[in-house]
Structure 1
Amino acid sequence: MAEDDTGIGGSSGMGFSLRVLKAVLLAVVAALSVVVALPMAVLFWIMWPWTLVFQRFSQPAQAGEEPPQVDNAASQISIENLLGLHAPRQIDAVFEGGGVKAIAQVGAVRAAEDLKLKWSLLGGTSGGAIVASLLAAGKNSRDIWQILTRTGLHSLVAVWYLPRLPWLQKRLYFVLPLLPHLLFTKGLVSGAEFLRIMNTHLQKNDQQLLFRDIPNHDRKQEPEAPRYRLKMVATDISRGTPIILPDDLPYYWEPWDHARRSLNLPVSAASRLSPEDAQDCWPVAESVRMSMSIPFFFNPYALHLNVDDDGKSLIKDRMGKKGKKVLIVDGGISSNFPIWLFDTMDRRPTWPTFGFLLDETKGTKGHSISSIGNLIDMALSVVTTGMGAMDKRLSEHDQYRTTRLRTLRVNTTSFGLSLAKQSELFESGFQDAVEFFKRFDWGEYLSRFRRERSTVAQDSDDQY
């Protein structure tokens, strides 16, 4: 057919070429692994027990019983300016993703607690989802600080973590032994240890914390308000779309099946389930695991669609059959700072939504320069640079409600961060939040909200 040179035929040819290129690249990596990496991998695993001993005794004490001492923020801020004379002391909060840098957000949480602000709706991505979920579970800044320091950030990735040994990285080309592993997996770390730790700290009465355990009580007054107090963002890379959790859980098979098992329903009774059941019964820790799955570092979280290839539901009649497998990774790929999570333009806000953004350039001259020592560092730098880059381009209204927190040149995956550096991050986050609260004015916030709503309405009218 003449059409084969273009259109469908051309697309097919391009697809075949890409498959060939992919196969060639895989063969090259496999050859490199056999010739170079495998001998080093053997040496690596021989050394492994000794590195564990070194890790055990060389890590700084990670048991910060109390967070760093800071001045009480309440003595420095006018609560009337912050929230208005008669406004409730409630805020919604959205935390940007940033891995280890989330410790700065814990300091900002402490500043909000000094002002006796109550958390209403909470949202975040990746590391921000960790902070938001712990707050939704009733933890405070002291609790979160202790969780992070007692656990030791490196233990979240214990399967892969090794002490930073420059001589090992340079002389043994540290990254090469990992190539055989990457040929058969999609990440360096399974995420199992992270999930275990999150479940432990999110437990309610020794049971997994489910989304139904954190309802939004303000929904009684506003029926259209979110069903739960917590939302987080992840990315479905198989379909190329961001997903909001728990809102989008009903699009996948596992939440329905988990709900059926939780409610002790047989497969034949799956038709009794509702989308709300799929959301209600899903563990919060599983959603956090999805949101923080940094590509190449953590294995993606696997789910299955709840429809077959013809678009027919697999829930109502054939609960035993799954749809196509999809992979879920870090929400930062699609929206690392989802300040928009709780926005509604059809009504005046009763209290503000504050965003806690991790600003790598604040307090530095120009852009922060990251140290890239090997292939893994480079891959992670590429990913984290692209994560939510457009989220930094905030509207006038979003800028006014966003706290920019210094990150002190700490990298997203600096899991071996010393206790002293963690304390420094906490203190800087506290100070930056205090300065933000000093400047914030509720009246100005409402004025900017009205201008934003007017702009959105005008843009909508221009489309018709």
Structure 2
Amino acid sequence: MKKRCDAVFEGGGVRGIGLVGAVYQMERSGYTFGNVAGSSAGAIIASLLAAGYTGEEIYEEMKRVNYFKFKEKHLLDYFGIVGKLLSILFHFGIYSADYFEQWLTELLSRKGVYTFGDLKCGSHTGHCKYKLQVTASDITDEELLVFPRDFHKFGIMADMYPIAKAVRMSMSIPVFYEPFILRDQSGKKHYIVDGGMLSNYPMWLLDEGTTEPQYPTIGFKFCEQKECSTLCKCNRMNIVEYMGQLVSTMMDVYDKGYIAHSQGDLQRSIQIPVHITVNGTDQKIRTTDFAITSEESQALFQNGVNAATEFLQRWDFHEWKQKYRLSEKNKTDR
């Protein structure tokens, strides 16, 4: 029997293959996805699910990806560390995301999906007007953006805007990728970067915790095993890698605080380890580990499968709703 859920996906760069493993296992267990949301890598997975891809299909596509192509270089980048620093100075980022946008556009087009108008939810209104929502960060106005609903701030018709461009904004890790530029109706430039800067795990987008839901909103997020937190593929980093890792570390702050103060969110989250063991060696996969091997990808995928399996063994939506929604409602009604 098919079971519907909405889903929110955390950002995590190349670690997103772990999200795919969890999606794959959920579908094998009879779940289908309704509305979806995500940030960064989570926005990529969400967009493909919204377009009609299955977890298995996404995994097959991910296995074919050459992640090095996502690091599209400027001319300056061929001059080593100095060139990369100059790219940051002149382009506000080391790499272009043009190739990524072309790649995602191609995948979406295979399902006949191009713009947000292709993902409308029929009669639904408000924040559920579209099946997909992604976060981005406007560093010009220092505010969180949610697409497609915030396109009106730039005089953009949401129905006509390419999904791949919105996801590109959501995954543009500061320093690593150059920011995307939008202009508002006054002509002012807005520099848009990774949604994870302000909300890397936007559970609140699909369920703000104030209503009694008909079906669950399940989160897909990453977790670190504390005893392995010092392990990393690279023991040494240059200044550019350090800057990228610093930004990546900062991304989780907003949502960790939100989750800590929101009852029931961790209980409805599939927590996928970012540490793997390959050939007897334990290591942590970082957001920007574009040199990830097929063995490492498979291990991350399996982490997702295992995490979803463990989640489903203890998950009971009716119990969760009774504890975190109905009991709170009864307290309010007294």
TM-score for the superposition, normalised by structure 2: 0.88
Give the partner amino acid of 1:296: V
Matches within 5 A, 1:80-229: 89-159=3-73, 174-204=80-110, 209-217=114-122, 220=123, 223-224=125-126, 226-229=128-131
Matches within 5 A, 1:8-407: 89-159=3-73, 174-204=80-110, 209-217=114-122, 220=123, 223-224=125-126, 226-253=128-155, 255=156, 278-306=157-185, 308=186, 323-345=187-209, 347-359=211-223, 361-362=224-225, 364-365=226-227, 367-370=229-232, 371-393=235-257, 394=259, 395-407=262-274
Contact 1:397–1:452 (CA<8 Å) still a contact in 2? no
Give the partner amino acid of 1:367: S
Shift in CA distance, 345/390, structure 1 to aligned 2, threshold 3 Å: closer
Distance in 1 (CA, whole Å) between partners of 2:103 and 2:179 is 18
Could you say which residue in structure 1 is the equivalent of 2:281?
A: none
Contact 1:372–1:378 (CA<8 Å) still a contact in 2? no
2:264 match: secondary structure: helix
- TM-superposed deviation, 1:448: 3.1
Shift in CA distance, 234/225, structure 1 to aligned 2, threshold 3 Å: closer
TM-score for the superposition, normalised by structure 1: 0.64
Bigger shift: residues 112-121 or 151-160: 151-160
2:325 paired residue among 450, 459, 462: 450
Could you say which residue in structure 2 is the equivalent of 1:438?
A: 313
Distance in 2 (CA, whole Å) between partners of 1:345 and 1:427 is 31
- TM-superposed deviation, 1:451: 6.0
Contact 2:198–2:254 (CA<8 Å) still a contact in 1? no
1:335 match: secondary structure: coil
2:203 match: secondary structure: coil
1:107 match: secondary structure: helix
Contact 2:72–2:96 (CA<8 Å) still a contact in 1? no
Structure with the larger strand share? 2
Structure 1 position 411 matched with structure 2 position 286: yes
Could you say which residue in structure 2 is the equivalent of 1:9?
A: none
Shift in CA distance, 387/456, structure 1 to aligned 2, threshold 3 Å: farther
Shift in CA distance, 456/231, structure 1 to aligned 2, threshold 3 Å: farther
Distance in 1 (CA, whole Å) between partners of 2:188 and 2:85 is 28
Shift in CA distance, 184/425, structure 1 to aligned 2, threshold 3 Å: same
Contact 1:208–1:283 (CA<8 Å) still a contact in 2? no
Distance in 2 (CA, whole Å) between partners of 1:287 and 1:111 is 27
Distance in 1 (CA, whole Å) between partners of 2:72 and 2:142 is 30
1:232 match: secondary structure: strand
Could you say which residue in structure 1 is the equivalent of 2:280?
A: none
Bigger shift: residues 438-447 or 417-426: 438-447
Distance in 2 (CA, whole Å) between partners of 1:456 and 1:423 is 47
Deviations 1:364-415 (A, max 9, x none): 5163444441011110111011102231242231111111101111010111
Larger Cα Rg: Structure 1 or Structure 2? 1
Structure 2: stretches of 5+ with no match in the other structure: 276-283
Shift in CA distance, 225/236, structure 1 to aligned 2, threshold 3 Å: closer
2:172 match: secondary structure: coil
- TM-superposed deviation, 1:347: 3.7
Please give the root-mean-square deviation of Cα atoms over the aligned residues, in Å.
2.5
- TM-superposed deviation, 1:345: 4.9
Contact 2:18–2:301 (CA<8 Å) still a contact in 1? yes
Distance in 1 (CA, whole Å) between partners of 2:70 and 2:194 is 16
Contact 2:18–2:300 (CA<8 Å) still a contact in 1? yes
Deviations 1:266-294 (A, max 9, x none): xxxxxxxxxxxx11111110110000010
Contact 1:188–1:298 (CA<8 Å) still a contact in 2? yes
1:189 match: secondary structure: strand
Contact 2:200–2:255 (CA<8 Å) still a contact in 1? yes
How many residues end up aligned between the 2 structures? 318
Shift in CA distance, 224/194, structure 1 to aligned 2, threshold 3 Å: closer
Give the partner amino acid of 1:176: V
Shift in CA distance, 97/452, structure 1 to aligned 2, threshold 3 Å: farther
Distance in 1 (CA, whole Å) between partners of 2:4 and 2:113 is 27
- TM-superposed deviation, 1:184: 1.6
Distance in 2 (CA, whole Å) between partners of 1:396 and 1:208 is 36
Give the partner amino acid of 1:295: P
Deviations 1:317-368 (A, max 9, x none): xxxxxx2111000001000000111115554211100000111x23x51634
Give the partner amino acid of 1:95: F
User: Percent identical across equivalent pairs?
Assistant: 32
- TM-superposed deviation, 1:453: 5.2
1:396 match: secondary structure: coil
Give the partner amino acid of 2:148: P
1:397 match: secondary structure: coil
Shift in CA distance, 130/455, structure 1 to aligned 2, threshold 3 Å: farther
Shift in CA distance, 184/224, structure 1 to aligned 2, threshold 3 Å: closer
Bigger shift: residues 335-344 or 284-293: 335-344
Distance in 1 (CA, whole Å) between partners of 2:327 and 2:140 is 34
- TM-superposed deviation, 1:91: 0.3
Distance in 2 (CA, whole Å) between partners of 1:345 and 1:337 is 15
Shift in CA distance, 284/420, structure 1 to aligned 2, threshold 3 Å: same
